[in-house]
Chain A
Amino acid sequence: MWGNPPAVLRVCPCGRSMSNSSDTSSPVVSSHVSLCDEGEDGAAEDDGSWAKNGAGDAMLEQLKVLEPSDRVRELQTILRDSTTSRGDFIFYADRLIRVMVEEGLNCLPSYKRTVITPTGHEYEGEWFEKWNCAVSILRSGEAMEKGLRECCRSMRIGKILIRRDQDTKLPRVYYAKFPPQVDKRQILLLHPVLESGATAKEALNILKEHGVREEKIHIISLFATPRGVHKLLKDYPKITILTSEVHPCSPSHFGMTYFGSD
């Protein structure tokens, strides 16, 4: 279901609105990937560095965007619509979270396993290795925990609370609690909206401090901006980022609408 990254990242050179999925599904041969950003200045900067950067292709491999489909686009549309009621918002957010969590779980290592069916025949299946856990970045990351629990009833969940420092205005880790031997585990980092990338960066730093290797970290987000993705992958090229959409406009209201607090 993952799109070919260059095709998916063919995001609007136009600026704010994104092309319809019917367009994006058309084959793209161009090797040039253009990303636009919120501010025009930023767009130019990002665009240039991405295209010039020799590591551009490798970075794209670490970004997995859900293959565009009308059904996912509908979820995104509802979540971005300012007229959506909170009840609908939660319902459709949960749906999108569920889709992304299911996709995220596919990143975990698995092995072959054969079972016998009630008809007495063999079925060649697959099963997952142990040593996984999720870590949610508070507060909005907690919105994804329900979806995760609906798929994995007993997965261990760590938490990181990150807030902006009153004085420096920079994000700072206030609290972190991880499952034991977190460095041995594959980590699904739950972070619904990847905007500037600053918060996620703090989270990655603290995970690194606990000895977690980059390649074991999979960020599961719903929405990501090109700016944020680029920033993270530049500093942490081996992590994996999953998202349903890369779009310059970030639905920064997500956490507040989901939890109903202003």
Chain B
Amino acid sequence: MRNGGRGERASLRRAAGAVLSESAGKKETMELEDGEEALGGGERVISVSSSDSGSEGDEVAALPADTTSPRGNKASTPRKSSTPGERRRRTIYIAGRPPWYDSHGQIAEAFVIGLAGGSASGKTTVARRIIESLGVPWVSLLSMDSFYKALTPEQNKKAAENEYNFDRPDAFDMDLLVETLQKLKEGKHVEIPIYDFSTHAHAKYKHTMYGANVVVFEGIMAFCHAPLLKLMDLKIFVDTDSDIRLARRLRRDIAERGRDLEGVLKQYNKFVKPAFHQFIQPTMQYADIVVPRGGQNRVAVQLIVEHVKDQLKQRGFNNRPKLLAGQRETEALPDSVHILPNKPQVKAMHTVIRNKETKRDDFVFFTNRLACLAMEYAHSFLPFQDVAVITPQGDEYSGKRFNGKLCGVSIMRAGEVLEPALLSVCKEATIGKILIQTNETTDEPALHFLRLPSDISQRHVILMDATIATGAAAIMAIRILLDHDVPQENIIFVTMLAARLGIQTLAYSFPHVRIITTAVDPKVSRDYHILPGVGNYGDRYFGTEPD
């Protein structure tokens, strides 16, 4: 408690201002750690910082620099991971998600860390410490609390009287939990139920959580279900003295959840304590590491972090140089690649857009014209059905119709240059967005933002990007669509210009995805430019090139 005042200051500062830069974020993290050194200091931070929000689910760290407060208010704020764009006041735009698959777009499994331990043992603190120290940009935190079963009215009544037993494995929906964790491990996105502790029911809405490179899963009964254990790569048991746990629990339930001492103690003696001895403590034997004293145990956390970092390195995600090394100029293009027939008009349009002297007016005009041709051509690859119609002249005409649902997904920013063309061919197309930017230091693509139609798995998807150089961003985008259960057969990738290398990589990685381009260039330079190329497409189209 001796440093409680500092913790409070730090959190007040956090409450007052948005954390807008990475450096600021890191600084805050340090201060927070300072302030928390005393046992329980964090609790004071909690109560203050909870006033700064109204943004539910901020709790989940998706970033190392994430300075989210350690709110213990689990009851009303089930955790979620969300896409950066949905989050306010975050440093997230600085570091996107790096590739989570190998150079052929195949999934590398996420590293799953399981955290178990008694109620109020400090699992969350340990989880947060690990995430902060890991320095891995894309981490999801999944809490077992979200998976409580909804209660019947009768059970609900019991719960109000502290007679309902939440502390046993069958209070949780284990099947859903296993399924969810499995999908997260595979890098897919999942829907996390929202459990409302006041009504003991599931909310209508669910949180969407995206796959991550590291998934931290925590809960009192995390090790109580064998199929769950199998999914974990590292199992940590947080072992905190039972007196300390009871003290924390009393404070949390009385101060934050407005319950009375009597009721809390009753529940503790009747359910929590026996459950710990019956279900939780025995699972310590499954742990790879036991962390005594919870979150304060910095040595333990450091050891764990070193181990995880080591594991991640072995899985190695560094694709672009690998892709570049695979440059083969002579090899034929796979069948799934379709190049717009190289007619005089197509050539002429390329002559304009490739010319460095071309003004933006002409560049935009000819881009749109060429994109329309590309989009018309791409439509040839949709599945059409036979139909018969009656003409105004009274004759029957046997024709074709496309009856499926279509949507476009553009890879921001340059992919947006194809959107007008899509709308000129399909006037009601739904459009989703994926923001992928190249990380300046690693030269790897990074996912920053994602907004896709909710029924995308039922749709034919026209994925758009202006150029394919190494294919790294395209692979990431297709991987995202596959993670959203869009079959490869339903994806048509449309691009203005592709390098032979990138289009080959893409086609070999995803043999059933159709790839449409208006031209293929022979080379990619060492700094990942297409040669002869077209320059920076987005900059030239949107007029953001430096003077």
A and B assemble together: yes
Whole-angstrom distance from the CB of A15 to the nearest CB of chain B?
10
CB of B351 within 8 A of CB of A81, answer no
Q: What is the CA–CA distance of A253 and B372 in the complex, to the nearest angstrom?
A: 27
- Interface of chain A: mostly helix, strand, loop or mixed: mixed
B369 within 8 A of A: yes
Could you mark each residue 112-129 of chain A with 1 if its beta carbon is under 8 Å from any beta carbon of chain B, else 0? Answer: 010111110111011110
- Closest Cβ of chain B: how far from A19's Cβ, in Å? 8
Contact A123-B354, Cβ < 8 Å, known A74-B402, A105-B345, A117-B533: yes
Taking a contact as CB atoms under 8 Å apart, the answer to whether B348 and A95 are in contact is no
Across-interface contacts of A98 in B (CB, < 8 A): 372, 376, 424
Whether A80 contacts B531 by the Cβ 8 Å rule is no
Q: Please, what's the 1-or-0 string for B362-380, where 1 marks a CB less than 8 Å from any CB in chain A? A: 0001000100110010011
Complex interface: chain A residues within 8 A of B313 (CB): none
Contacts of B536 in A (CB 8 A): 118
Q: Which of B365, B386, B388, B392 has the most CB of A within 10 A?
A: B392
- Residue from A99, A116, A251 within 8 A of B355 (CB atoms): A116
A44 contacts partner chain B, Cβ-Cβ < 8 Å: no
Question: Within 8 Å of chain B (Cβ to Cβ): is A69?
Answer: yes
Instruction: Answer whether A125 and B351 are a contact pair too, CB < 8 Å, given A18-B398, A70-B380.
Output: yes
Contacts of A150 in B (CB 8 A): 369
Q: Mark A89-104, 1 if CB is under 8 A from B, else 0.
A: 0010001001100100
A123/B351 in contact, CB under 8 A: yes
In the bound complex, do residue B345 and residue A102 qualify as a contact, i.e. CB atoms below 8 Å apart? Answer: yes
Bound CA–CA A76/B530 (angstroms):
39
A121-B397 in contact (CB<8A): no
A91 to B423, CA, bound (A): 11
Mark A75-88 against chain B: 1 for CB-CB distance below 8 A, else 0.
01110111100000
0/1 interface trace, chain B 528-544, chain A, CB 8 Å (1 if under): 01111111100010000
Interface membership of A52, Cβ < 8 A? no
Q: Give chain B residues whose Cβ lies under 8 Å from the Cβ of A119.
A: 525, 529-533, 535
Interface pair A249/B393, CB less than 8 Å apart = yes
The answer to whether A117 and B398 touch across the interface, beta carbons within 8 angstroms, is: no
CB distance from A4 to the nearest CB of B (A): 15
Which partner residue on chain B sits nearest A91 by CB separation?
B427
Given contacts A80-B391, A113-B351, A127-B348, contact A99 B400 (CB under 8 A): no
Task: Check B389–A125 contact: CB distance below 8 A.
Answer: no
Q: Are B529 and A126 in contact (CB under 8 A)?
A: no
A70 touching B400, Cβ below 8 Å: yes
Contact B396 A106 (CB under 8 A): no
Who on chain A is nearest to B536 by CB?
Answer: A118
Minimum CB–CB distance from B473 to chain A (whole Å) comes to 19
Closest partner residue, chain B, to A250 (CB atom): B393
Distance of A70 Cα from B404 Cα, bound (Å): 14
Check: A17 CB closer than 8 A to any chain B CB. Answer: yes
- Asked if A71 contacts B533 (CB within 8 A), the reply is no
Residue of B nearest to A68 (CB): B400
Is residue B390 contacting chain A, with contact meaning CB distance below 8 A?
Answer: yes
Interface SS of chain B:
mixed
Measured between beta carbons, the chain A residues less than 8 angstroms from B373 are 102
Known: A105-B345, A106-B345, A252-B393. A73 touches B399 (CB 8 A): yes
Q: Which residues of B contact A77 (CB under 8 A)?
A: 387, 389, 397, 399-401
Q: Verify B387–A249 contact, CB threshold 8 A.
A: no
**A81 with B389, Cβ < 8 A, contacts A125-B347, A126-B348 known:** yes
Instruction: Verify A99–B376 contact, CB threshold 8 A.
Output: yes
Q: Does A21 contact B (CB under 8 A)?
A: yes
A17 touches B400 (CB 8 A): no
What separation, in Å, do the CA atoms of A82 and B388 have in the docked complex?
11
Is A95 a contact partner of B344 (Cβ separation < 8 A)? no
Nearest A residue (CB) for B361: A153
> Are B395 and A16 interface neighbours, CB within 8 A?
yes
Q: Report A-chain residues with C-beta under 8 Å of the C-beta of B351.
A: 113, 115, 123, 125-127
Bound state CA distance, A115 and B347, in angstroms?
12
Given contacts A115-B355, A125-B348, A126-B344, contact A153 B392 (CB under 8 A): no
In the complex, the chain A residue whose C-beta lies closest to that of B533 is: A119
Q: Is B350 an interface residue (CB 8 A)?
A: yes
A77 to B384, CA, bound (A): 12
A122 CB contacts on chain B under 8 angstroms: 532
Shortest CB distance B381–A (Å)? 9
Choose among A74, A82, A118, A151 the residue that contacts B534 (Cβ–Cβ < 8 A). A118
B345 touches A76 (CB 8 A): no
A118 to B345, CA, bound (A): 21
Is there contact, CB below 8 Å, between B389 and A83?
yes
Q: How far is the CB of A120 from chain B (nearest CB, A)?
A: 8
Closest chain B residue, CB of each to CB of A88: B427
Q: Are A151 and B396 in contact (CB under 8 A)?
A: no
Per a CB cutoff under 8 Å, which of A73, A128, A153, A251 touches B384? A73
B321 within 8 A of A: no
Distance (whole angstroms) from the CB of B423 to the closest CB of chain A:
11
| A71→B381 CA distance, assembly (Å) | 8
A53: interface (CB < 8 Å) = no
**B298 CB to nearest A CB, Å:** 51
Contact B347 A253 (CB under 8 A): no
CB distance from B83 to the nearest CB of A (A): 33
- Docked pose: A119 CA to B529 CA in angstroms: 8
Interchain CA distance A126-B365 in the complex, whole Å: 17
| Residue ID in chain A nearest B393 by CB atoms | A249
Whether B399 and A76, one on each chain, are in contact in the complex, defined by CB atoms closer than 8 angstroms, is yes
Known: A77-B389, A80-B391, A81-B390. A118 touches B348 (CB 8 A): no
Shortest distance between the CB of B108 and any CB in chain A (Å) = 33
Residue of B nearest to A115 (CB): B355
Chain A, Cβ-Cβ closest to B366: A151
A1 within 8 A of B: yes
Q: Determine whether A49 belongs to the interface, using a CB cutoff of 8 Å to chain B.
A: no
Write 8 A-B pairs (CB below 8 A) sorted by A numbering. Answer: A71-B379, A71-B384, A80-B391, A105-B344, A118-B356, A119-B535, A121-B531, A125-B354
- List 18 extra interface pairs beyond A71-B382, A123-B532, CB under 8 A: A1-B343, A17-B396, A17-B397, A71-B379, A71-B384, A73-B384, A77-B389, A78-B401, A80-B389, A81-B390, A83-B390, A98-B424, A105-B344, A110-B344, A115-B357, A119-B525, A125-B348, A153-B365
Closest 4 CB pairs of A and B: A77-B399, A125-B351, A118-B535, A121-B532
